[in-house]
Amino acid sequence: MTRTMALLLPVLAAGCATMQPPPPPRGPCVVDETVRMRFAGMKFRERMRPEIERATNSATSRVLRPDDAATMDFRPDRLNILLDDGRQIDGLRCG
């Protein structure tokens, strides 16, 4: 019985180990046609933001609605998520 426990202890301990989360994207932001097609027209939810950032390799993002004021500075690691009046994703743009 003790030999069985000695053999199972490493297996049981390995099951308790946690995996490291993937490293956060660092940029530069890349929006290709595949990403555009995947998210275009979807109703934007805040919980989608990390997934969109990972898909575009963006370190940060901002959501812009029609008539929102936005700075014109260019940041290669930032994603702009453009929404229409109905909160659907109208476009994705780096900067």
pLDDT tens per residue across span 8-50: 666 666 655 677 777 666 779 999 999 999 999 999 999 999 9
| Assigned CATH class of 25-94 | alpha beta
Q: Are 32 and 11 in contact (CB under 8 A)?
A: no
The pLDDT of residue 41: 94
Give dist(CA 84, CA 20) in Å, integer: 37
Give dist(CA 93, CA 36) in Å, integer: 9
More confident residue, 94 or 17: 94
Q: What is the value of pTM for the model shown? A: 0.72
Q: Are 42 and 88 in contact (CB under 8 A)?
A: yes
Contacts of 34 (CB under 8 A, 6+ apart): none
**Residue ranges covered by each domain of the chain:** 25-94
More confident residue, 56 or 13: 56
Give dist(CA 58, CA 60) in Å, integer: 5
User: Does 5 score more than 70 pLDDT?
Assistant: no
Q: Which of 80, 48, 49, 78 is nearest to 63 (CA)?
A: 80
Average pLDDT, the chain: 86
User: Does 1 score more than 60 pLDDT?
Assistant: no
